[in-house]
Amino acid sequence: MKRILVIDDYPDNVFFLQDRLEREGYEVIKAYDGGMGIQKAFEEKPDLILLDVMMPDISGFDVCKKLSASEETNLIPIILLTALTDAEDIKTGLQAGAFDYIKKPFNKTELIARISSALRFSEMNKLLVEIEKIKTYAATVVTANHEIKQPLTLINLSTAAIRREIVKDEVSSEMVLKRLDFIENAAKDILLVLEKLGSIKKPVITPYVNNLNIVDLKAESSS
């Protein structure tokens, strides 16, 4: 069941919207001022927000700006419910991050149609975000494999060389120490790669080979 947060300082408006939305099978979360609405949005993570513009404590525009600026709530579509019909007011709402707006008094059929459209857009947006996460994860795996394979190979070769050396009647300590240096340096290289991958916040993905992508560690470190 989709959950819709209704933010309006008039209880009668909230009641009307709740009645209409519940008839359509939605679960309704209520807030009676901007501050409460922001709190509910962060706590409840609704699927959609219906937001009144004219409120006494915090305007709908400011609520919209705050929610759109947060990574926790910026993917939640917001539909403004407004009696303001001036083009500049509508522009202000959309620039604040609103997905859509409905002028009061609104038509019930239009309201449900706009909500359905916003929810479909939200689902598609979430799907695209998940796809990007999968692509980034895959590129990270390819990067780790590419960057770590050589030092791991060096560790394996050095370990094998040490094993061959220590079974000899006369062991060359110089050779063993040299191979140990190789192992230590290779281990440092691996740790450095892992540190770089772990510190990436906005990865730069570039083509690699065979339709695979890779994380550009140099681009990330230089940004």
106, 121, 148 - which closes a domain: 106
Collect the ranges in the chain with pLDDT lower than 70. 85, 219-223
Residue 223 pLDDT: 43
pLDDT tens digit string along 59-78? 999 999 999 999 899 989 99
Domain that holds residue 69: 3-106
pLDDT tens digit string along 128-138? 888 888 888 88
115 within a domain of the structure (yes/no): no
Task: Report d(CA 93, CA 100) in Å as an integer.
Answer: 9
Residue 87 pLDDT: 73
- Do 64 and 29 share a structural domain? yes
Return the closest-CA partner of residue 197 out of 154, 142, 153, 156.
142
Question: Using only C-alpha atoms, what is the Rg of the chain?
Answer: 28
Question: How many independent structural domains does the chain possess?
Answer: 2
Task: Report d(CA 68, CA 62) in Å as an integer.
Answer: 10
89: CATH: 3.40.50.2300
Question: What global pTM score does this model have?
Answer: 0.65
125 within a domain of the structure (yes/no): no
Task: List 50's β-bridge partners, or say none.
Answer: 6, 79
Identify the sign of the CA torsion 42, 46, 47, 49: negative
- Do 55 and 13 share a structural domain? yes
Residue 85 pLDDT: 67
- Do 153 and 87 share a structural domain? no
Instruction: Give the number of residues written for the chain.
Output: 223
Residue 19 pLDDT: 93
- Do 85 and 146 share a structural domain? no
25 CB-contact burial (10 Å; exposed 0-12 / middle 13-18 / buried 19+):
exposed
Burial letters 79-90, b for 16+ CB under 10 A, else e: bbbbebeeeebb
Task: Report d(CA 143, CA 49) in Å as an integer.
Answer: 40
